[in-house]
């Protein structure tokens, strides 16, 4: 049986987007209640009956959440231009070695705006 698991995490952070036009609202400092979906995919072992313990996904993500929560993302190394796209790639690069079945990172800045990244090998997200 092949399936995909998704674990959702949240954190609060501020940022400003330095590559946006000077008069754009996102060029100014502002904050979001970010939501991140971490997806893993693979074949479920009949003996175990599960793909990955959700606790393993949480353990992998928690150090990253601590680096991001209640921070200015522009001050985090590697996130000097913290767009949703760049944040998704930043998270992927830190999780791919820890979660071998990682298939997708979703970053939600708002209830209606999100970015999905599936790694460079998967082509455009």
Q: Which sign, positive or negative, has the C-alpha torsion 109, 81, 71, 6?
A: positive
Query: In the beta sheet, which residues pair with residue 37?
Result: 8, 106
- Which helix (H) or strand (E) segment is 63 a member of? helix 54-68
Q: Which of 26, 56, 72, 85 is catalytic?
A: 26
Q: Which of 15, 104, 108, 109 is catalytic?
A: 109
C-alpha angle with apex 64: 53 to 74, nearest 5 degrees?
155
Q: Which of 30, 70, 80, 96 is catalytic?
A: 70
70 is catalytic: yes
115 is catalytic: no
Q: 40 is written with which tokens?
A: 């893993």
Question: Among all residues, which ones are annotated catalytic?
Answer: 26, 70, 109
């Amino acid at each position: 049986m092949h399936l995909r698991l998704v674990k959702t995490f949240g954190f609060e952070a501020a940022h400003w987007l330095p590559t946006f036009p000077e008069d754009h609202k996102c060029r100014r400092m502002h904050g979001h209640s970010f939501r991140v979906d971490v997806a893993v995919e693979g074949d479920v072992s009949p003996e175990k009956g599960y793909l990955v313990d959700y606790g393993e996904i949480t353990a992998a993500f928690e150090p990253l959440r601590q680096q991001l929560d209640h921070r200015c993302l522009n001050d985090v190394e590697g996130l000097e231009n913290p767009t949703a796209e760049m944040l998704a790639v930043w998270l992927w690069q830190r999780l791919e070695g820890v979660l071998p079945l990682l298939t997708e990172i979703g970053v939600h800045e708002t209830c209606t705006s999100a970015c999905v990244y599936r790694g460079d090998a998967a082509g455009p997200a």
